[in-house]
Amino acid sequence: MEHLLNLALRVAEEAEVYEEVTVGTPISFEANRLKMLETKETRGVALRIIRNGRIGFSSTTDLRNLQMLVDHAVAVSELGAEAKFHFPHSAITHEVQVYDPLVEGVASETLIAMGQSMIDKVRHHQPHILCDAGVSKSVGRVRILNSAGVDLSYEKTVLAASIHGNLVRGTDMLDIYESKVTCEMVPSYDELVDRLLEKFGLAERTAEVSTKQMSVIFTPRGVAATLLLPLQSALNGKSVLQGASPLGDKLNQKVFDERLSVYDDATIDLTPGSSVCDDEGVPTRRIPLIEKGSVRNFYYDLQTAGLAGTESTGNGYRSLSTLPSPSLSTALFDPGDTAYESMISDIKEGIVVDQVMGAWAGNILSGDFSANVHLGFKIENGKIVGRVKNTMVAGNVFEIFDKNLVALGKESVWVGGTLKVPAMYFHSLSVSTKE
């Protein structure tokens, strides 16, 4: 990497080298049986230069010809965007633990046993359920070197598991899934099986829904699939810069219910979205995006921040083959003070939304959503009475977070390892069904 940096600096004013090495072991089960076990190792290098004030970029997984990598970056810089930044002089003042040696050392046989154990427990309680499952570990190593003196590296382990159950009864097909992603070793995935079986129990009966306005509870998974993306897009510094964000002119203004607070925080230990720095070497930190309903910050990478006349928030993330762009690391929603059971008992007629399909076929930036409820439940007189079918829920994210929010759950739950969010209860949304 040092040699590549030196080669680049012969033809450019500034340069950055980004190296990524990942060793992954994915294991999958299909129809109750082990389907695949393999180990993959990938290694690649990305080079970014500033030459004559413009950005050049190239990447490769073939490290035998570094001069060619430099030549490609130079060629790209001829038509590259004007650089509005300088590579940072990072000063890391904190540590973030994202590596667990137990994950790196866990044997494939143990991962297979963990996956098979999930399937066996589901089948023990519900022998007619057909299960797919997956357990995987990965170990990633990142190093960032630039001409401003940065030389940063860190290791990250990720352990992920998922369980998917399918039950067919006549013409009725029911799919339910659960997953967990973390940086640390876990003893078992019994909690995933318990949640899966609980939902299958609630879904045993079906219930009719009428087309009308009614109360809706989104589980943490439902929030992630339906309500997160418009907020994420509206708070993105690139959207603000382009004039496409409905929140772009609302900085430090109260826009939402005061109970809504959202943060981006890549400094939480043993969380897959965390790291000591972003992919540009800028130190990570906790960033208040929305506090008590008011817009506090937008998130930026180096180039977008330069264009906006501000500083990077440490949210420049990339794949090996792409330039960095503003992205959330780990989104955190403050919980409320209402138990999930209390939300349900408060509703005379409504639905619970847990899994959806196709929420964002429309305009993400406007906040309008219309989602097919893949897994949801009918509430009548404060009790769940069955699963809903052929049902859609629609609304506008910005409007319902302003005047429609009844309660936030008192417990925030991890969804996918990069989002921690409570259940959310809204007074009135549009619910429709095939009559």
Do 339 and 273 lie in a common domain?
yes
Query: For residues 229 and 366, is the Cβ–Cβ distance under 8 A?
Result: no
Do 211 and 183 lie in a common domain?
no
Rounded to whole angstroms, the Cα distance separating 157 from 141 reads 9
Do 134 and 77 lie in a common domain?
yes
Rounded to whole angstroms, the Cα distance separating 306 from 234 reads 19
Q: Which of 197, 216, 238 lies at the terminal end of a domain, its last residue?
A: 197
Do 184 and 217 lie in a common domain?
no
Residue with tokens 């967990």, as numbered in its chain: 180
Do 160 and 177 lie in a common domain?
yes
Rounded to whole angstroms, the Cα distance separating 261 from 292 reads 5
What is the number of alpha carbons within 13 Å of residue 205 lying toward its C-beta?
Answer: 7
- Order of strands, edge to edge, in the sheet holding 331-333? 294-295, 286-291, 262-265, 331-333, 419-421, 413-415
For residue 150, give the nearest of 266, 9, 282, 274 by alpha carbon.
Answer: 282
The pLDDT value recorded for residue 151 is: 95
Do 229 and 354 lie in a common domain?
yes
Do 218 and 316 lie in a common domain?
yes
The residues, ordered by sequence, that sit 6+ positions from 11 with a Cβ below 8 Å of its Cβ are: 49, 51, 70, 74
Do 247 and 152 lie in a common domain?
no
The pLDDT value recorded for residue 363 is: 77
The CATH number of the domain holding residue 141 is 3.30.2290.10
DSSP string of 140-179, one letter each residue: EEEEEEETTS-EEEEEEEEEEEEEEEEEEETTEEEEEEEE
pTM of the model as a whole: 0.93
Q: Cα separations (Å) of 425 from 3, 228, 435? A: 56, 15, 26
Q: What's the total number of domains in the chain?
A: 2
DSSP string of 60-110, one letter each residue: ES-TT-HHHHHHHHHHHHTSPPBP-----------------HHHHH--HHH
Do 103 and 135 lie in a common domain?
yes
Do 179 and 263 lie in a common domain?
no
Q: Which of 171, 197, 223 lies at the terminal end of a domain, its last residue?
A: 197
Do 193 and 211 lie in a common domain?
no
For residue 9, give the nearest of 84, 74, 81 by alpha carbon.
Answer: 74
Q: Which of 175, 197, 219 lies at the terminal end of a domain, its last residue?
A: 197
Residue with tokens 């994915």, as numbered in its chain: 26
Q: Cα separations (Å) of 158 from 50, 149, 175, 205, 418? A: 34, 29, 26, 37, 12
Do 89 and 157 lie in a common domain?
yes
**Residue ranges for the chain with pLDDT beneath 70:** 359-362, 435
356 φ/ψ angles, rounded to the nearest 5 degrees: -135, 165
In the numeric block, which tokens belong to residue 34? 């082990």
Rounded to whole angstroms, the Cα distance separating 4 from 15 reads 10
Residue 29: which domain range?
A: 2-197
Q: Cα separations (Å) of 165 from 31, 32, 198? A: 9, 10, 12
